[in-house]
Structure 1
């Protein structure tokens, strides 16, 4: 059974923080039905299109050490459920009851 780890307020905090970056990272989402979006770089309209209710996880793809550090600091300030990955960060929209959720 999956439970929600996020709400619209937190998703919007991510979106606005990334929009305000000088050089925002790329992103892609995976939905509850397993659909994986194409990699995208537009946060203002594309990220919020269709709402957030079916985002299983968001992958934020950083392209440099500097961008990785800046994005990490932003995500920790927002305090989000997720993990650091080799390509950036994964923010959990949903998790199963057996999964211990860590917060950035």
Structure 2
């Protein structure tokens, strides 16, 4: 069983924070049906296309340390559930029952 940890308002905050970065980082989503999207860098329209209800998590890719710093600062400023990964960051839309989710 999955429990939502994001809502449409927080997803929009994430989308706009990433859209404001230059250059925008690439992202990829995992959907509740198991579909893993291809990497994309268009946050304004593509990210919200189809809504947010089925996003299990979004991976945000940092190509270098400067981008990792900018993305991390932006995520911390909007306080979203997630974690730092080897490739960048993962923001959770859902958490499994009994799983602790930290916030950036």
Q: Which runs of 5+ in 2 are unaligned?
A: none
1:18 to partner: Cα distance: 1.2
TM-score (norm 2): 0.98
**Structure 1-normalised TM-score?**
0.98
Corresponding residue pairs, total: 104
Unmatched 5+ stretches in structure 1:
none
Aligned-partner SS, 1:67? helix
Q: Deviations over 1:23-78 (max 9, x none)?
A: 11000000011100011010011000000000000000010100001100110110
RMSD: 0.6
Partner in structure 2 of residue 44 of structure 1: 44
